[in-house]
Amino acid sequence: MSSSGLFLMLFLVLHAGINLFLLAGPEAYNEACHFMDTNIFVQLMVPVLALGFLLHIIYAVRLTWGNWKARGSQPYAVSNKTKASSWAARNMFVLGLIILGFLAMHLTHFWSKMQLSTLLTGEGAADPYGLVSGLFRQPFYSIIYIIWFSALWFHLTHGFWSALQTVGLNNAKWLWRWKAFSYVYATIVISAFLIIPVYFLFN
**Portion of the chain with pLDDT greater than 90, in percent:** 36
DSSP, collapsed to helix, strand or coil, labels residue 168 as coil
Domain locations in the chain as residue ranges:
2-70+86-201
Nearest to 3 by CA among 67, 66, 51: 51
DSSP, collapsed to helix, strand or coil, labels residue 32 as helix
Alpha helices for the chain (secondary structure H): 2-19, 26-38, 40-71, 81-84, 87-90, 92-109, 115-121, 128-136, 139-166, 172-201
Tens of pLDDT along 140-161? 999 999 999 999 999 999 888 7
Q: What is the pLDDT of residue 1?
A: 63
DSSP, collapsed to helix, strand or coil, labels residue 68 as helix
Residues 58-65: what's their mean pLDDT? Answer: 79
Tens of pLDDT along 166-177? 766 666 777 778
pLDDT band at 79; cut points 50, 70, 90: very low
Residues 24-43: what's their mean pLDDT? Answer: 89
Residues 36-51: what's their mean pLDDT? Answer: 82
Q: Is pLDDT at 48 greater than 60 in this prediction?
A: yes
Q: What is the pLDDT of residue 169?
A: 66
Average pLDDT, the chain: 84
pLDDT band at 69; cut points 50, 70, 90: confident
For 127-131, 156-160, 195-199, which range has the lowest pLDDT when averaged over its residues? Answer: 156-160
Q: What is the pLDDT of residue 136?
A: 96
